[in-house]
Amino acid sequence: MLNTSGDGRSSKVHGVPQKEWKAKQDTDQLRVMYREGPEGTPFHTLLAEGFADGPIDVCACVSWEAGLYKKWFPQYNLPTFKIDQSGSLKKVRIGEEISLVRLVEDSFLFTFSLILSLL
């Protein structure tokens, strides 16, 4: 499986130190990690890596149409969070893409990065 979370060392974004990744789930099919944002901010980053088991057209839609997540996901009072921003960050190569989905819940902002690879 991909290891986007790096080697466990904390990183810096624009000179601001980031906290280390904490694993929530780590299996051979799925890895879910999170980290708190810079000190004094309500930001959290969620990283989910895994393999999609389904038809190629469904997997391609999940990867290539991240910008439409806001339209797909219901924007009601339940669930309490809403999609604030979504889109493709980088096309690594054919069949592999890094996407961003930003969720907002009351005073918290969660950034959810999708690392999708079609093999």
Please write the tens of the pLDDT for every residue from 25-61. Answer: 888 888 888 888 777 777 777 777 777 677 777 767 7
Query: What pLDDT is stored for residue 99 in this prediction?
Result: 76
What global pTM score does this model have? 0.46
- Pairing outcome for strands 96-105 and 108-117: antiparallel
Residue 66: strand, helix, or coil? helix
Structure letter (DSSP) for residue 4: T
Every domain of the chain and the residues it spans: 23-117
Let me know if 51 is exposed, middle or buried by CB neighbors in 10 A (0-12, 13-18, 19+).
middle
**Mean pLDDT lowest among 65-69, 90-94, 98-102, 111-115:** 111-115
Average pLDDT, the chain: 68
Token pair of 61 as six digits: 């839609």
pLDDT at residue 77 is higher than 80: no
